[in-house]
Amino acid sequence: MKPQPGPANVTIAHVLPSTLLKLMGTTVLDQWANTPSPRLLATGVEEALRWASPAAHFLRHATGDAEIDGQAVAAGDPVVVWLGSANRDGDVFRMPFTFDAQRHPNKHMTFGIGPHYCVGHSVARVALRVLFAELFSQYHDFALAGDAVRMHSDIVTGWTRMPITARLRPRRLPPAY
């Protein structure tokens, strides 16, 4: 069996463009990008992780008989968690199809859960905080500069091409570390 890429391999490359595509031209991006607040940066990154869900799914096999939401699952049965769907579950998230940079708590499943929780989650979070903080401190007015092209994959949710333009800020904002 060929190993599948997990969120640690794809998070940084796909969360930023997915988030910008969703938010370009909105007041949500303007508020998030123009407010150099460490708290807002942190909650915004968690929301970007929930929104992008770069790993499409996790497949596991049941270790024992169980019932999931009224459905019988026998020991050995494959069980798939579709992360994009789980991260937009209306029973877990208020207004699940709205990007809320201030969402708290944000119990997204982007990095998995339990014993299979991604070991790279801290590195991905720190890298994304630095990336968004530096980007927002130096640039504004993000716009799509051509066609965005999605990856054709049932493992990774992301982009192969997304040209974006931005304007250099006249005066750099302090990065929100």
Q: What is the pLDDT of residues 63-88, one digit of tens each?
A: 999 999 899 999 999 999 999 999 99
Range of the domain at 144: 7-168
CATH of the domain at 119: 1.10.630.10
Checking if the pLDDT of 113 tops 90, the result is no
Is 86 part of a structural domain of the chain?
yes
Is 106 part of a structural domain of the chain?
yes
Is 174 part of a structural domain of the chain?
no
Is 83 part of a structural domain of the chain?
yes
pTM of the model: 0.90
With 0-12 CB in 10 A as exposed, 13-18 as middle and 19+ as buried, what is 155? middle
Q: How many CB atoms lie within 10 A of CB 172?
A: 11
Is 177 part of a structural domain of the chain?
no
Q: For 128-150, what is each residue's pLDDT tens digit? A: 999 999 999 999 999 999 999 99
Checking if the pLDDT of 9 tops 80, the result is no
What pLDDT does residue 171 have?
A: 93
Checking if the pLDDT of 156 tops 70, the result is yes
Checking if the pLDDT of 160 tops 80, the result is yes
Is 160 part of a structural domain of the chain?
yes
Is 173 part of a structural domain of the chain?
no
Decide: 162 and 145 in contact? Cβ < 8 Å. no
Q: How confident is the model at residue 52 (pLDDT cuts 50, 70, 90)?
A: very high
Phi-psi region of 141 (alpha: psi -120 to 50; beta: other; left: phi over 0): left
Q: How confident is the model at residue 7 (pLDDT cuts 50, 70, 90)?
A: very low
What's the number of domains the chain is made of? 1
Distance CA 85, CA 108 (A): 10
Q: What is the mean pLDDT of the chain?
A: 92
